[in-house]
Amino acid sequence: MRLLRAVVILSYFVMATLPLAWLALTSVKTYDDTISAHAKFIPWAEAGARGDEQTAESVRFAPTLDAYRNLSKPVAGTPHDFYHYLGNSIIIGVLSTLAAVCLGTICAYGFSRFKIPGSKDWLFFILSTRFLPPLAVVVPVLVMYRWFGLENTHVGLVVLYTSFNLSLAVWLMKGFVDEIPRAFEEAALVDGYSRLRTFVRVIVPQAATGMAVTGVFCLISSWNEFGFAMTLNNYEARTVPVYFAGLQGNIEGVPWPQIAAGMMIFVAPIVLFTVLVRRHLLRGVTFGTIKQ
């Protein structure tokens, strides 16, 4: 049994991590090495040989950081370099996250501490918005955005992502706010604080960890979103996933090393965040339904 368990864990671990390892290796290759019919696994050139002297059949290759350097040059057929799109992703991700966490915390506090008629129905309405398929509502959103001149803008995506993250933010924050003992705010209310001041001075500091965790999950979902970003932004506010998708049909061949290098930079913060919120992952992916 022990042996079986070890085999299961080890083989899955290898299969799960190999693609990511391959991504890292690809980002330090030359274009020819990435599409070589003899896969290059080992990033050390043979002793004494320079990069161009490597034999085609070798599994070794000379690693280079050229792909990372080339990220600041636009790829043929695109108007901007990678960092332009990364900037779009950062602006849209950060603003929509801040908005969703603020609105979500305020809303969660209301549901947690006040008797609101039909609160359970409202909460489940909020949860159900999470399941709306982007492609089923993208047309009305597009028409609405044309009325307000929001298509192709950063603001348009920020508003959209904020509303789509609200369900997650409200449900996660309600879990966190429910855990804050009421004694704290009651003491503040006795001291003559108004409800609003109590919320800002007492609840927000107490809920700070929860807000940070919620923020990470909102940021990740905005960061990774593709359906809306693809259909609402043909040009101005294009995010990184849409940019990469557009490079697939590149006439000069798919620039794999640059794509891999860009992907490494794009996923690095998410890997870091995943490690930081690892204790809250279960809560995050189940809308706070399961608390660890």
User: Could you give the CA distance from residue 98 to residue 110 in angstroms, rounded to a whole number?
Assistant: 19
Contacts 24+ apart (CB under 8 A), 140-144: 141/228, 141/232, 142/231, 142/232
| Short-list 61, 73, 69, 76, CA closest to 30 | 61
SS3 60: strand
Q: Can residue 38 be called a binding residue for another protein (CB under 8 A)?
A: yes
Site string for another protein, 263-282 (x = CB under 8 A): x--xx--xx-xxx--x--xx
Closest to another protein by CB, 62 or 109: 109
Please give the residues from 160 up to 179 whose contact with another protein meets the rule CB under 8 A. Answer: 160, 162-164, 166-167, 170, 178
Nearest distance from residue 279's CB to another protein, in Å? 10
- Structure-token pair, residue 143: 């028409």
Closest to another protein by CB, 92 or 220: 220
Please say whether the beta carbons of 91 and 70 come within 8 A: no
Binds another protein (CB under 8 A): choice among 56, 116, 208, 212: 116
Closest to another protein by CB, 5 or 50: 5
Binds another protein (CB under 8 A): choice among 14, 35, 56, 76: 35
- Structure-token pair, residue 197: 């001041």
Site string for another protein, 89-108 (x = CB under 8 A): --------------xx-xx-
Nearest distance from residue 143's CB to another protein, in Å? 7
Please give the residues from 217 up to 236 whose contact with another protein meets the rule CB under 8 A. Answer: 220, 223-224, 226-227, 230-231
Nearest distance from residue 291's CB to another protein, in Å? 8
**Cα 73 to chain centroid, rounded:** 24
Please give the residues from 133 up to 152 whose contact with another protein meets the rule CB under 8 A. Answer: 133-141, 143-144, 146
- Structure-token pair, residue 132: 């709306």
Closest to another protein by CB, 79 or 133: 133
User: Could you give the CA distance from residue 111 to residue 271 in angstroms, rounded to a whole number?
Assistant: 33
DSSP code of residue 199: I
Binds another protein (CB under 8 A): choice among 53, 65, 125, 149: 125
Neighbours of 257 (CB within 10 A): 23
Please say whether the beta carbons of 190 and 124 come within 8 A: no
Say which residues have a Cβ less than 8 Å from residue 100's Cβ, sequence separation at least 6: 161, 162, 165, 166, 168, 169, 218
Nearest distance from residue 14's CB to another protein, in Å? 11
| Short-list 178, 175, 158, CA closest to 223 | 158
Q: Can residue 208 be called a binding residue for another protein (CB under 8 A)?
A: no
Nearest distance from residue 51's CB to another protein, in Å? 19
Judged by CB under 8 A, the number of residues near another protein is 104
Q: Can residue 53 be called a binding residue for another protein (CB under 8 A)?
A: no
